[in-house]
Structure 1
Amino acid sequence: MFTGFLRPLRNSAAPLPTPRRGFLSHKLSPTTTPPPFPAGQEEEAIFEAVCVNLRRRKWGFLRQVSPALTEHLVRRVVLRHRASPLLALEFFHWTQQQKQQKRKDLSPSLESYSAMIHVLVTGRRFDEALSLMKHLMQNLGVPALHILESLVGICGGCGGSTDAFDALVRACTQVGSSGDAHQVIDRLRLQGIWVSIHAWNNLLGFLSKSNDNCGEFWRIYREMLSCGYSENINTFNSIVYALCREHRLWEAFSVLNRMLKSGVLPNVVTINMLIDGCCRNGEVGVAVKLVKKIQVLLGGIVQPNCVTFNCLINGLCKTGNAAVAESIVRVDMTKMGLDPNVRTYATLVDGYAREGNLEEAFRLCDQMVRGGLFPNTVVYNSIIHWLFKQGYVEEVSCLLSEMKGFHISPDHFTYTILVDGYCKNGLMQDAVGCHNRIKEANITKDVYSYNILVSHLCKIRDIRGAKQLLGSMYAHGMLPDMVTYSILIDGYSRDQKLDDALQVYEEMVIEGHRPNLTTYNSFISGLCRVETFDVARSVIDEMRTQKLFPDSVTYNTLLSGYCRSQRTDDAFTLCSEMRSRGVMANEVTYNVLINHLCKVHCFQEAQEFMKLMFNRGLVPDYITYTTLITAFSKRCSASEVIALHDYMVIRGVLPDEYTYNAIVSLLVQREHEID
């Protein structure tokens, strides 16, 4: 077998022993063909030849012998090169290419993948090992437990590293499957294989950041402790992060105390998590004190770094304290010998722009450049966003030209901000043109940018244009998502085209999207507009059968419909139903009722509802103020209007400037003239 290429193999492999001159030499002649190898020797010769030529990277020779490469040989070659993991990986990928080109039976087996993974892990090439594991799970559909079984088998046969099992747990979490990660840990324990603390910590770290119920995090944590493990710094950091996410800030600080008592020293990651947790939980003042006193509190064992200050600066800027944040950069960071980086400046620029102070934002950009740092796309995206917010459309064009001059390419977020900004400033043609340029910029269009356009087209009642855009999505190979369908249903409902809304709804269900609360609320809004309240009530009943329960938006929509149709009894019955079902009335609920009572000239009752808002901890807004003041000015005396104004303002209601100037100030002036 394979006699056709045994000759080149012999030329490339280790030389065969040359017979000594003597009694055998006369029996051999140059034309004599040696006897064929026995089967085992033949494979050995191929193996040695492949290894020699692989080290020399003679891919042409390897292509010649590829028909002789069995899975067993591939595995042996990979394991032989465990000291050169990248060369082994190159060979492994080459076998895959050969399979795709001509030899479909050369597809690497799970055992070959496992051998390759062990070689990579032993060589500390963890990223490459993780990539192979994720390829097995995501692209080839191999279950994690099958991979584990193969890894265990290879480990016993070739002396691989148990670090491969930790890597498998990490690969499971990287593909978003905490369940598979836990199954791997369970199976290892059942087989009597020690699971390292790193595997547990990886699973805990993933669960602490998961958007799902944090109960799973605490369950796994308790299971780890019950197995006899002690927390290390990474475990404690995951606990701190989980507690901060659950708004249990002071418990997170108590973990810091427990760490010190158990002899585990916190690191800068621990401190950064606590500072970020303080900022996210509205305790920015505590975060500032912690940064300023951390070295004293921990005896200098932890030094704040740039990330520490960036967390604090972000918290201050998000709460409207950009100037305080900048002073911390100037004073505290400088004192510690830390230089602000691009992210620091990006946060400060966004903070000032968020406050409407674009001059300070541009000053910081100039300061960046003078300091040797150049604004990146994040900085430009922030400024463009806030320029649009304040209506500075021409300035956006100048900024885009500046980006081009600095060779900074707009990214996906830039185009999304541009599309949204043009739409909100009433420039739909520019928005569509910008959306069309996304593809020209080699940036993949996504459903989100389409949804922005669809939403704005529906708001300006251009439903036909929205449907055409939907067709464009299909043409570009994209399917509408739940948001797209909900926007269209809402658009048709607002336009009182309920048949079209229902058609979109049915299409959505056929495409496998389950309607959510927003979808149902849009339907109910449309039904109330055409006063088909019985159908609206039946939709609410259907929601409950789908385990979707009406929220304040649902009830307020129906309540507003009842009030517009003068169905006062139904409106107050609905309010009672809200309370009985545990849905709290909010400012919108009271504003709807107050507006209705004013329209039917029940001014005292409207005023009582306003007082009831205060009693229940709700502060009336400018809508409440405008509704009451406008109604009272038409039917009540000037003194009653002024008294109502004073009552609300003293209790923190911000009056609408136009209403105050048009009504209250004139009445006050008239009262003074009479006096």
Structure 2
Amino acid sequence: MARSMISSFWERPKLNVNDSFVQFFDLLVYTYKDWGSDPHVFDVFFQLIPVTCTLTAFKDCDKTAAAIVVFRSFLRISEAHHLLLLMELKGYTPDVVSYSTVVNGYCRFGELEKVWKLIEVMKDKGLKPNSYTYGSVILLLCRSCKLAEAEEAFREMIRQGIVPDTVVYTTLIDGFCKRGNIRAASKFFHEMLSLDIAPDVLTYTAVISGFCRVGDMVEAGKLFHEMLCRGLEPDSITFTEVINGYCKAGQEHEGGLVLYRGMVEKGFSVSASTYSALIKGFFKRKKFVEAREVFEQMKREGLAGDKEIFDFFSDVRTQKLISVRVFLLKCAISSKIAQKDRDLFTADYQQREDVKSRSCKEAAAG
């Protein structure tokens, strides 16, 4: 398709070159914006500019911004920035959208120094960075664990009269939660509520995850309930974070199993790590029937035990338990487990012993 577009451009020399170029520009930008294609086709675009000696198409900022978005989508940030410079050389000033798109692109690649320089250029040209611009920078700073700088960029955004949106607040909350600073995350969460900025599912998931990380399942449970009261439907990530939190806090039966069953009923996919957390939690508390229930459900869904689950069973065997038989004997003497659980483990143990015995006989025969 790219070849036919180029041929069409050159096969009509009697047409006004500028008009032909504008038509070509439109086809190039919007075709590849909507469908996607080989990004190398844009090399042709840059070759055509000096040949035609025209940039009139750039007078339409919407078209230029669209081209820059396409470049960013293909992760060709240098080309997008080059397009900005070409516009400026021809006397056209790119708009905030174009600059912010390039800023976002550099943020994706972690080019913080280039980001700050580009923002300064924007300000020098009288262009005011918007919420999208600052949001991109704050996201990069949070991912780089530069939370103090992220908060400073956030405060600068407010000083500039730009009202942060849900995305910006969620980015900060998630950043602080992942670093274990739940106090700062809570501050931003309550701040956005006081400003009537509605948190979404991602916001609640981030702050709930933060409380789960520090083991405060009471607050995590309250927020989960508050989320439901607001009419927000938890997604699989929300469920997984809360379930893992309950398991780490030793509340897999009271909270984890209940949420797990609700998750299954709603048709959400349960990750292997969530299954692993539940199984490990139940084993630690000697809830073997529940552990088997979860494990059987895991197999029904076609999931194989991941490394974490296998490592757990290995840990159980090495934690001062010479064998399952000795473990069961100790539990039976102290009456720590029910008869049905002892029977279950005895059957599993006997099955493993039979397999082991057959393997030894086959090896000896061979």
User: What TM-score does the superposition give when structure 1 sets the normalisation length?
Assistant: 0.38
Give distance in 2, aligned partners of 1:335 and 1:291.
17
- Evaluate the alpha carbon distance shift between residue 375 and residue 514 of structure 1 in structure 2; reply closer, same or farther with a 3 A threshold: same
Indicate yes or no: 2:278 matched with 1:526.
Answer: yes
Displacement, 1:534? 5.1
Give distance in 1, aligned partners of 2:277 and 2:263.
19
Tell me, yes or no, if the aligned pair for 2:96 and 2:128 is still in contact at 8 Å.
yes
- Evaluate the alpha carbon distance shift between residue 297 and residue 367 of structure 1 in structure 2; reply closer, same or farther with a 3 A threshold: closer
Map 1:180-191; keep pairs closer than 5 Å: none
Map 1:134-533; keep pairs closer than 5 Å: 253=2, 268-276=25-33, 284=39, 286-293=40-47, 303=57, 305-315=63-73, 318=75, 322=78, 325-330=80-85, 332-334=86-88, 338-476=92-230, 478-495=232-249, 497-499=251-253, 500-508=255-263, 513-518=266-271, 521-528=273-280
Count residues in correspondence.
296
- Evaluate the alpha carbon distance shift between residue 269 and residue 493 of structure 1 in structure 2; reply closer, same or farther with a 3 A threshold: farther
Give distance in 1, aligned partners of 2:50 and 2:149.
47
Q: Any idea what SS the aligned residue of 2:118 has? A: helix
Tell which has more relative contact order, 1 or 2 (C-alpha 8 A, sep 6+): 2
Tell me, yes or no, if the aligned pair for 1:313 and 1:347 is still in contact at 8 Å.
no
Q: Any idea what SS the aligned residue of 2:153 has? A: helix
Q: Any idea what SS the aligned residue of 1:504 has? A: helix
- Evaluate the alpha carbon distance shift between residue 485 and residue 537 of structure 1 in structure 2; reply closer, same or farther with a 3 A threshold: closer
Give the partner amino acid of 1:526.
L
Give distance in 2, aligned partners of 1:334 and 1:555.
55
Displacement, 1:272? 1.5
Displacement, 1:506? 3.2
Tell me, yes or no, if the aligned pair for 1:527 and 1:535 is still in contact at 8 Å.
no
2:354 corresponds to which residue? none
Which runs of 5 or more residues in structure 2 are unaligned? 13-19, 319-366
Displacement, 1:410? 1.0
The two structures, once aligned, show a CA RMSD in angstroms of 3.9
- Evaluate the alpha carbon distance shift between residue 514 and residue 308 of structure 1 in structure 2; reply closer, same or farther with a 3 A threshold: closer
Tell me, yes or no, if the aligned pair for 2:180 and 2:214 is still in contact at 8 Å.
no
Q: Any idea what SS the aligned residue of 2:199 has? A: coil
Give distance in 2, aligned partners of 1:453 and 1:291.
46
Tell me, yes or no, if the aligned pair for 1:528 and 1:557 is still in contact at 8 Å.
no
Tell me, yes or no, if the aligned pair for 1:496 and 1:529 is still in contact at 8 Å.
yes
Q: Any idea what SS the aligned residue of 1:386 has? A: helix
Displacement, 1:379? 0.8
Map 1:562-581; keep pairs closer than 5 Å: 562-564=313-315
Q: Deviations over 1:175-212 (max 9, x none)?
A: xxxxxxxxxxxxxxxxxxxxxxxxxxxxxxxxxxxxxx
Identity percentage of aligned residues: 20
Displacement, 1:366? 1.6
Tell me, yes or no, if the aligned pair for 2:246 and 2:252 is still in contact at 8 Å.
yes
Tell me, yes or no, if the aligned pair for 1:253 and 1:274 is still in contact at 8 Å.
no
Indicate yes or no: 2:303 matched with 1:550.
Answer: yes
Give distance in 1, aligned partners of 2:195 and 2:72.
31
User: What TM-score does the superposition give when structure 2 sets the normalisation length?
Assistant: 0.66
Tell me, yes or no, if the aligned pair for 1:454 and 1:469 is still in contact at 8 Å.
yes
Q: Deviations over 1:564-605 (max 9, x none)?
A: 4569xxxxxxxxxxxxxxxxxxxxxxxxxxxxxxxxxxxxxx
Give distance in 1, aligned partners of 2:242 and 2:170.
20
- Evaluate the alpha carbon distance shift between residue 258 and residue 542 of structure 1 in structure 2; reply closer, same or farther with a 3 A threshold: farther
Q: Any idea what SS the aligned residue of 1:340 has? A: coil
